[in-house]
Homo-oligomer: A and B are copies of this chain.
Amino acid sequence: MARQLYELVGRDPARPFSPYCWRARMALAHKGLDAACIPWRFTETDRLAFARHDKVPVLVDGDTVVADSWAIAEYLDRTCPEAPLLGAAAPHIRLIAAWVDHTLHGALIRLVVSDIFTLLDEPAASYFRASREARLGARLEAVTADREGRLPAFRTLLQPLRVALRAGPFLGGAAPDYADYAVFGAFQWARVVSKLVLVEDVDPIHPWLERMLGLFGGLAGAVPARG
């Protein structure tokens, strides 16, 4: 059976946008592995029952089913030990990924949540609006209304990336590793769903983003930015 990756999409199955799915997609490519994209939409939890999980990414590799992006990274390192994603830095990358989950994603959702809504068809759209408005405590359009004003604060949160990138071209050093993919997932999410310019051209993060978009024959860059 060919390898399959369940990835979150909206109306357009060719534009996966979940940051966690991008971590898994980049991790597979890091190992030189391909996987058919199985488009998955919010509310299609029944379709993941086989994985005993309710969220994507889910990787199906022959008889093996692995849910959760971190578990996928560990699985790939276990089954393809060459070019480790995590290696000796696994505990540190876990902390970095958790920082992305909590701090960067928490700030980003407040910048792009109304853009995500416009990518969705029913019933995903209604589910998304209801669940996110409950979580964020406001109408999606109200959450993002003043987003331009919050961009400077968001860019300040990125300062650890700028410091780390002084030492080398990737967060993993000379070559990318899962730290890069965990952080890149956040930017790719925003790029696919929103026109908002998160990082200015003069920002030292910008050339790193360009490098990430170009990796693996331009895998991530091939999905167009929101037009």
| Contact across chains for B167 and A98 when beta carbons are under 8 A apart | no
Task: Work out how many copies of this chain go into the complex.
Answer: 2
The reply on A134 being an interface residue by CB < 8 A is no
Interface size of A by CB at 8 A reads 30
| Contact across chains for B95 and A161 when beta carbons are under 8 A apart | yes
Do A173 and B91 form a contact, CB below 8 Å, given A103-B103, A103-B157, A160-B103? yes
The reply on A159 being an interface residue by CB < 8 A is yes
Q: Which of A87, A88, A92, A156 has the most chain B CB atoms closer than 10 A to its own CB? A: A92
The reply on A216 being an interface residue by CB < 8 A is no
Contacts A96-B160, A98-B164 supplied; 13 other A-B pairs, CB < 8 Å:
A89-B89, A91-B164, A91-B168, A92-B92, A94-B163, A95-B96, A95-B160, A95-B164, A95-B179, A96-B96, A98-B160, A98-B163, A102-B156
